[in-house]
């Protein structure tokens, strides 16, 4: 079951802006990769000292600093100082149970997204928080663990083809958000396949396991919905917003991500409707099976009760029972029994009980 909430309680009572990592520690050592580029120049290296940060800040090239792993608050604090981030931003980066949201600070925009990925062990969907801080020609991205969802973007940067290298940090932010949203479709497709499989099984053999699977998928949908639904408003306000950090050109691309988000939400809603329908079918198939069982019982009882009664009659010890003395009494008894049985079978067949 996707946990509906993470342990926030350890933060209760602490002053705001206290940097405590809320969430599981998903990797051993944080890793910071720095990419610096413009149309002609490209540089990629591991982040060494915090002084680099102050140098890069001044350069007109686009700088992308990607932090994988959040459990070392010290590095974050230094980064925050260098780029002048509000303490609440750093706190939110570390509290990995944020909803997707957009916060417009003076000089930079803070965006929270949710990446979805299937847990390796039990195939449950889990969410990873991705934070983006978009400055004039700087983009900071924070991930809970080393992921490959941004690799295609890195590849495009390295190759230098396409628009990416020519445009600013806002387009880079768009590219990252786009890859996160594209990833939703992969997750949804996989769930769609599981729903379809489940449906076939449901028709073939409705067991309690299927009921629990339906319930489980319903919850996955609730979980995914919570991760995707607020994104709609985030992108919409980015696209319509008056922030000067987003160029007109990028806004058109954001409209595209917006459409994809709506499509993802649409798909989630459709899956929820489908799962509700499957629940109805499951419940009525349980009733139908009860009906079938009861019919068998009724048929058996209706056939054998009269027969047993008849056998009982001729087992009585009355002195004067003429039939008992008849030569053909016994065969005649069988004749009656078999006719009665056959007649009832025909009758039940007619009533479609068999």
CB of 284 to a copy of itself, least distance (A): 6
CA distance 170 to 200: 46
CB of 310 to a copy of itself, least distance (A): 8
Nearer to a copy of itself, 123 or 207 (CB): 207
Nearer to a copy of itself, 61 or 179 (CB): 179
Phi (first) and psi of residue 236, to 5 degrees: -60, -40
Instruction: Tell me 11's DSSP state.
Output: G
Q: How far is CA 307 from CA 299, 310, 313, in A?
A: 13, 5, 10
Look up residue 241 and give its two tokens. 């917003």
Look up residue 337 and give its two tokens. 């029994």
CB of 300 to a copy of itself, least distance (A): 5
Nearer to a copy of itself, 55 or 266 (CB): 266
CB of 185 to a copy of itself, least distance (A): 4
Nearer to a copy of itself, 17 or 84 (CB): 17
Look up residue 223 and give its two tokens. 């979980």
CB 134 within 8 A of CB 245: yes
Cβ-based burial of 320 (10 A; exposed 0-12, middle 13-18, buried ≥19): exposed
Nearer to a copy of itself, 291 or 339 (CB): 291
CB of 44 to a copy of itself, least distance (A): 18
Cβ atoms within 10 Å, residue 178: 17
């Amino acid at each position: 079951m996707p946990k509906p909430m993470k342990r926030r309680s350890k933060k209760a009572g602490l002053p705001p802006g206290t940097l405590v990592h809320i969430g599981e520690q998903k990797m051993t050592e944080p890793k910071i990769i720095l990419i610096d580029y413009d149309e002609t120049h490209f540089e990629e290296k591991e982040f060494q000292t915090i002084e680099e940060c102050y140098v890069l800040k001044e350069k007109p090239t686009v700088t992308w600093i990607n932090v994988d792993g959040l459990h070392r608050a010290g590095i974050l604090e230094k980064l925050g100082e260098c780029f002048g981030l509000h303490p609440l931003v750093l706190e939110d980066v570390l509290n990995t149970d944020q909803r997707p949201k957009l916060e417009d600070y003076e000089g930079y925009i803070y965006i929270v997204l949710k990446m979805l990925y299937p847990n390796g062990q039990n195939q449950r969907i889990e969410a990873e928080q991705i934070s983006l801080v978009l400055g004039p020609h700087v983009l900071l991205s924070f991930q809970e663990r080393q992921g490959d969802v941004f690799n295609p973007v890195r590849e495009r940067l390295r190759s230098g083809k396409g628009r990416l290298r020519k445009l600013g940090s806002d387009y880079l932010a768009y590219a990252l958000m786009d890859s996160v949203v594209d990833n939703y479709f992969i997750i949804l497709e996989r769930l769609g396949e599981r729903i379809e499989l489940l449906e076939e099984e449901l028709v073939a053999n409705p067991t309690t396991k299927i009921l629990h699977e339906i319930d489980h998928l319903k919850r996955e949908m609730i979980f995914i919905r919570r991760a995707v639904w607020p994104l709609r408003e985030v992108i919409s306000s980015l696209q319509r917003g008056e922030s000067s950090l987003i160029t007109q050109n990028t806004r058109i691309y954001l409209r595209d991500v917006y459409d994809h988000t709506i499509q993802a939400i649409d798909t989630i809603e459709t899956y929820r409707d489908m799962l509700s329908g499957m629940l109805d079918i499951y419940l009525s198939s349980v009733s139908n099976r009860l009906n079938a069982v009861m019919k068998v019982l009724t048929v058996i009882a209706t056939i054998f009760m009269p027969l047993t009664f008849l056998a009982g009659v001729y087992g009585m010890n009355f002195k004067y029972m003429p039939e008992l003395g008849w030569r053909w009494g016994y065969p005649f008894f069988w004749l009656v029994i078999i006719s009665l049985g056959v007649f009832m079978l025909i009758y039940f067949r007619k009533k479609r009980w068999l």
